[in-house]
């Protein structure tokens, strides 16, 4: 596995390798969970990234002192995205209007992670309600990209990505309702897998909503991602749409190498109708060409155009936020960030109950089109595209309207990623190089239930063109 390890044991230095190598160090007695936690909190205090909004030292130290390092993630400090639920922690959706709410339960993902030995350090910052791809809120201010202060790590899992890429923690939870795993991973040089819808249960108290959001992680290595899904995936009866476990993801890494040979792929710079920066696409198309040559893939030129879904996706999300706020709306309008506040206000004013029917009609059209593209007989196995339309933009926002000098409007942000959320199929962002010193991610989209293929593609890149695990 092409990863680097930090060999020091100073309590002021966090581990700069991946989580799996840190577990190995714990087991070998080279470092202890308490030492790593000391270093983690010291790093948070010294950091100017603004990646954490809530810390729980008492809970974390109790877990670290009692850590069983023989567990899959035994003793590993992790960040928890503030849109995830942990019993006794704030449950605010990153919105000051909900600042008084404390969760009375932990999600299944958190429960399974704790059973696997993780140490919960605190909450990482996110965008309000996961609504935009910049992590800057009234509650916490702007979170910064460790590759360049003043740039965003993306959203909504921006704090998680900043903390992992910035060398604070090796792992953090993330969620993806329109790109919120892949977008930050692409901006910060991390692995970001959006799995098939239902891989990790969203129980308990799941509100199914518009069926676009999945939970997961951002990581420094492919094996960390695989181990995460080994620990957290599998059916829970409280989430009726959750999927059964499918075996061991980490032990099977590399086993799909032969299955990768001869796949049909489409290389699509304008996936979802997006406009991509020419400089970024030059890097990503070169990576795509190399993967095609290395695996003997068949490059297929087919129609990959998709129905316009940006407005429908946005409307659906805004209506859900409005319902969640309930009586707090419209009194809280002034405390929402502009992207959320303006969008919510216009959506509430313009759309009534009939909007849901129109949204579902458009989603049906997208599902049919995606099924055509990934048809086993006449379509492709993989779509290779960008994770983001350009490199990371200003941490304070607003959302950019130009991408590599090309005007496309603010709606271009996220256009590359949300098709996989609406269709529910897996997609991964793989570090693929740099533009102007900032990371860029190659997004690979595949058929439902084919995450192991995506992980093996990422593993191939990691072994042959290893990326820096943290910002240099």
Q: Catalytic residue positions?
A: 81, 156, 180
Which token pair is 275?
């406009």
| 8-state DSSP, 99 | T
d(CA 93, CA 129): 5
Dihedral of CA atoms 400, 405, 408, 413 in degrees, nearest 10, equals: -40
Contact 168, 124 (CB under 8 A): no
Convert 390-419 to b/e letters by CB count within 10 Å (16 or more is b).
bbbbebebebbebbbeeebeeebbbbbbbb
Which token pair is 146?
């460790």
SS3 297: coil
Q: H/E/C letters for each residue in 409-428?
A: CHHHCCCCCHHHHHHCCCEE
What is the helix, strand, coil percentage profile of the chain, to 5? 35, 15, 45
Q: Give the phi and the psi of residue 138 in degrees, each rounded to 5.
A: -60, -35
Strands 438-446 and 77-81, by their bridges, are: unpaired
d(CA 13, CA 6): 9
Strands 119-124 and 77-81, by their bridges, are: parallel
List all residues 6 or more positions away from 205 whose beta carbon is below 8 Å from its beta carbon.
105, 238
Rg of the Cα trace of the chain? Answer: 21
Dihedral of CA atoms 54, 89, 418, 148 in degrees, nearest 10, equals: 10
Contact 172, 124 (CB under 8 A): yes
Other Cβ atoms closer than 10 A to 431: 28
Instruction: Reply yes or no: is the peptide bond before residue 398 cis, omega within 30 of 0.
Output: yes
């Amino acid at each position: 596995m092409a990863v680097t390890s930090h060999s020091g044991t100073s309590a002021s230095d966090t581990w700069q390798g991946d989580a799996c190598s840190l577990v190995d160090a714990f087991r070998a007695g080279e470092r202890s969970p308490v030492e790593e936690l000391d270093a983690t909190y010291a790093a948070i205090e010294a950091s100017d990234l603004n990646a954490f909004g809530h810390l729980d030292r008492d809970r974390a130290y109790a877990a670290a002192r009692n850590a069983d390092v023989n567990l899959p993630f035994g003793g590993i400090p992790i960040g928890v995205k503030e849109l995830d639920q942990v019993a006794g922690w704030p449950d605010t959706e990153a919105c000051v209007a909900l600042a008084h709410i404390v969760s009375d339960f932990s999600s299944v993902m958190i429960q399974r992670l704790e059973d696997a030995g993780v140490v919960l350090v605190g909450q990482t910052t996110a965008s309000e309600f996961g609504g935009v791809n910049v992590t800057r809120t009234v509650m916490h201010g702007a979170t910064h990209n460790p590759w360049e202060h003043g740039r965003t790590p993306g959203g909504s899992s921006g704090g998680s990505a900043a903390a992992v890429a910035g060398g604070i923690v090796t792992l953090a939870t993330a969620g993806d309702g329109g790109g919120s795993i892949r977008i930050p991973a692409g901006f910060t040089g991390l692995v970001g897998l959006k799995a098939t819808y239902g891989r990790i249960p969203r129980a308990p108290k799941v509100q199914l909503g518009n069926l676009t959001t999945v939970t997961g992680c951002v990581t420094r290595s492919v094996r960390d991602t695989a181990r995460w899904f080994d620990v957290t995936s599998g059916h829970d009866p409280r989430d009726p749409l959750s999927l059964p476990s499918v075996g061991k993801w980490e032990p099977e890494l590399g086993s799909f190498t032969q299955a990768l040979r001869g796949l049909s792929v489409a290389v699509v710079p304008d996936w979802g109708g997006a406009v991509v920066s020419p400089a970024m696409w030059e890097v990503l198309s070169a990576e795509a060409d190399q993967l095609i040559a290395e695996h003997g893939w068949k490059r297929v030129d087919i129609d990959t155009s998709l129905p316009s879904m940006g407005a429908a996706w946005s409307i659906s999300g805004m209506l859900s936020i409005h319902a969640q706020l309930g009586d707090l709306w419209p009194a809280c309008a002034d405390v929402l960030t502009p992207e959320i506040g303006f969008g919510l206000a216009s959506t509430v004013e313009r759309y009534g109950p009939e909007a849901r029917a129109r949204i579902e009609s458009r989603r049906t059209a997208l599902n049919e089109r995606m099924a055509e593209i990934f048809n086993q007989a006449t379509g492709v196995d993989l779509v290779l595209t960008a994770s983001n339309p350009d490199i990371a933009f200003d941490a304070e926002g607003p959302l950019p309207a130009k991408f590599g000098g090309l005007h496309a409007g603010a709606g271009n942000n996220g256009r590359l990623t949300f098709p996989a959320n609406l269709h529910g199929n897996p997609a991964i962002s793989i570090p693929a190089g740099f533009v102007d010193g900032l990371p860029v991610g190659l997004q690979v989209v595949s058929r439902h239930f084919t995450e192991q293929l995506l992980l093996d593609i990422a593993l191939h890149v990691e072994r042959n063109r290893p990326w820096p695990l943290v910002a240099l």
